[in-house]
Amino acid sequence: MTRAEDAVRTVRDLRARVAAWRDAGETVALVPTMGAIHAGHLSLVALAKAQADRVVASLFVNSLQFGPREDFHAYPRDEANDAAALTAGGSDLLYAPDASEMYPPGFSTKVSVNDLTEDLCGAARPNHFDGVATIVAKLLLQCAPDIAVFGEKDYQQLLVIKRLVRDLNIPVEIAGGAIVREDDGLALSSRNAYLSPEERKIAPVLYQNLCGVAGELEKGSSADDASTAARAKLEASGFRVDYVAVRNPDTLEVLQGQVKDARVLAAVHLGKTRLIDNVPVPLQAR
Ligand code: AMP
């Protein structure tokens, strides 16, 4: 039962609960979240449940991965609702440590994945991926799950985490879950709540343009032409474009000319809200 009052708050209690499961011969999956639970998070819980006997969902709004002018303080927090949603979604345990448990006084270690983080979201959000790598390394060491599940919504993050686990020999399997979308194509995100009704109407144009790029690539357009055209269309629709990029799906290396196997990634601003999304090429390769 994952009610807010049943959440474990300390590494010690988390390890005791996981140890009891292991003693009973059960496998364990971890689904890290920052709360504001939506159907995208719950799809990861379902994926975790399908692959392990027990699912731990963690809830921690990680200050380290927010920039000084970003929305750490405004980030939506509602632990009771999140706990109820995670329970209904099949989670066995909520791990919701306080900031002081995660980052005690004197905390001074940083995990940094150099490759993969220099551009795309790393360019616009300096230190973001260090914050992500540090918290994920900590969560994996604290919980020691057999498998940890992350969303393809944060595609660059997923690759960074896979690299982190490989480089540090952390004994866990990293699984990626497909992006869950609204009916109109907008990827579910906690930050969609920031959109005004007017902006919400425009937001699905992001996904439409990413599909457009994928379609153009499949028809033989060059990566440059397809992404430049998408950028112009997004700007004409009212987005401020951070990037639209066609990349190698495993290494995020820049792809030019005609491409057959790629990931199209974008980050845009709509008013005060930053939105990210991505699609595979070919589109049906999900
Ligand atoms: P967050 O709470 O935003 O840090 O996200 C926690 C996990 O949920 C991350 O692994 C995200 O990639 C994943 N996630 C967020 N939105 C979606 C979505 N729309 N579909 C699938 N996974 C998602």
Measured by CA distance, the residue closest to atom 13 of ligand 1 is 151
Which atom of ligand 1 has the smallest separation from the CA of 181? 19
Q: Which of left, alpha, beta for 212 (phi over 0: left; psi -120 to 50: alpha)?
A: alpha
- Residue 5 reports pLDDT greater than 90: no
Band of pLDDT at residue 200, cut at 50, 70 and 90 = very high
CB burial string 17-49: b at 16+ within 10 A, e below? bbeebbeeeeebbbbbbbbbbbebbbbbbbbbb
Best mutation site among 38, 44, 149, 265 for ligand 1, i.e. most ligand atoms within 8 A of its Cβ?
44
Q: Which of 38, 41, 73, 269 is catalytic?
A: 41
Beta-carbon count within 10 A of 6 CB: 11
Nearest atom of ligand 1 to the alpha carbon of 178: 21
Q: What is the mean pLDDT of the chain?
A: 96
| pLDDT the model gives residue 285 | 55
- CATH architecture of residue range(s) 190-281: 2-Layer Sandwich (3.30)
Please tell me the distance from the alpha carbon of residue 227 to that of residue 108, in angstroms, as a whole number. Answer: 40
| Atom 17 (ligand 1) nearest CA | 40
Listed by start position, the domains of the chain span 7-177, 190-281
Rounded average pLDDT over 216-231: 97
Convert the pLDDT of each residue in 149-189 to its tens digit: 999 999 999 999 999 999 999 999 999 999 999 999 999 99
Residue 3 has a pLDDT of 64
Rounded Cα distance, 260 and 198, in Å: 36
Average pLDDT for 127-147: 98
Alpha carbon of 150 to ligand 1 centroid (Å): 7
Query: CATH classification of 7-177, choosing from 3.40.630.30, 3.40.50.620, 3.40.640.10, 1.20.120.430?
Result: 3.40.50.620
**Residue 158 to residue 270: CA distance in whole angstroms:** 24
Q: How far apart are the first and last CA of the chain?
A: 32
Coil, strand or helix at 95? strand
pLDDT tens digits, one per residue of 225-282: 999 999 999 999 999 999 999 999 999 999 999 999 999 999 999 999 999 999 999 9
Burial of 268 (0-12, 13-18, 19+ CB in 10 A): buried
Structure tokens at 243: 């990037």
**Distance between CA atoms of 57 and 48, rounded to whole angstroms?**
10
Cα of 177 from ligand 1 centre, angstroms:
9
Q: pLDDT tens across 244-257, in order? A: 999 999 999 999 99
Confidence of residue 286 (pLDDT cuts 50, 70, 90): very low
Q: Based on the residue annotation, tell me whether 38 is a catalytic residue of this protein.
A: no
List the structure tokens of 77: 């927090």
Q: Which atom of ligand 1 is nearest to the CA of 187?
A: 19
- What is the arithmetic mean of pLDDT over 49-64? 97
Q: Pocket of ligand 1, candidates 34, 41, 95: which has the most ligand atoms within 8 Å of its Cβ, to mutate? A: 41
Ligand 1 surroundings by CB, under 6 angstroms = 33-34, 40-41, 43-44, 150-151, 153-154, 177, 179-180, 187-190
Two tokens, residue 74: 């405004």
Q: DSSP string covering 20-82, please?
A: HHHHTT--EEEEEE-S---HHHHHHHHHHHHH-SEEEEEE---GGGS-TTSSTTTS---HHHH
The residue nearest atom 10 of ligand 1, judged by CA position, is 150
pLDDT digits (tens, 9 = 90+) for 75-87: 999 999 999 999 9
